[in-house]
Structure 1
Amino acid sequence: MMSMTSSPPATPTGVQTDSDGLILPKKLINPCMENIDRKELHRELKFNARVGKSVLNQKSELQRAYDKQKERHAAAEQHSPDAEIVGGIPGLKGELGRVIMERAQKHEAAAKNQDQEDAEDRQYVNPEYLNVRAKLRTAQPTNH
């Protein structure tokens, strides 16, 4: 007959058990995290982030096209022979510059006309009228 012993049964090597003889769970190996290529890529991304270099092309296609258009426009402005300065303001060219200059001239002419009308009005004011009006103001009692 067999004798009953209180010792835990034999366990395969590498398996850990607790005091009650239960097998302790161990962390499973994640093959993705253990991948050498992934580790190298992660290390490179961390290095580039630390340096400040953007390795991912994060601009949208629209933003890239807009930047390219701005660069072409700036290059064309620098190299164009007909780059003229309108009204002493650099960068105002063509139709827009002409319209702005016309409106500025109209505004100046209107201001001059207003000044001339004010001067003419002052010439025709009768000084006797101003004296009588001033006397009336002082003579009237103020009701508050």
Structure 2
Amino acid sequence: MCEDSCVNSVKARVAFLEGDLSPHKYGRKDMAPVMGVPPPPPEPHMGPDGIILPRKPYNPCLISNNHKDLRRELLFNQKMGKNVLNQKSELQRALERRQRDSALRRESQKNREETYKDDPRTALQRALEQRAKQLELSENPINIEPPNPLVTARAKLRTRTDSQ
């Protein structure tokens, strides 16, 4: 159904451009924009003196369905309080970041308190134990021997040949 009307519209345009149809029979309502092509400007209205009467210029935004849908969606989001265009000031962004960070800090503090609630050690004792573990690791680093360069080169060549 839609294909027939689109084909008829295209045929009518082609006929109009070739000069087969008179411009008076070809109304503006019959001519919907196809593939973003705006309709041709209407025939100028002539006054009794033969002077062309002024007319409002053609506005493609009023006919474009994409533009109408976008505007409708933006207005709806504005009513709902969503900011889809991300037009926040730097102060608002900093405030939100600060609130988010403080909420994360509170959450982590709460989790920490819950995990160590039944632990008889104090926070100072736990901190000292963690410091001792870090010192042990820094004094006794785990020595990992570098792999044989021939093995790494062969592995690189194997991946290159596999991908080709």
Give TM-score scaled by structure 1 length. 0.36
- The structure whose RCO (Cα within 8 Å, separation 6+) is larger is 2
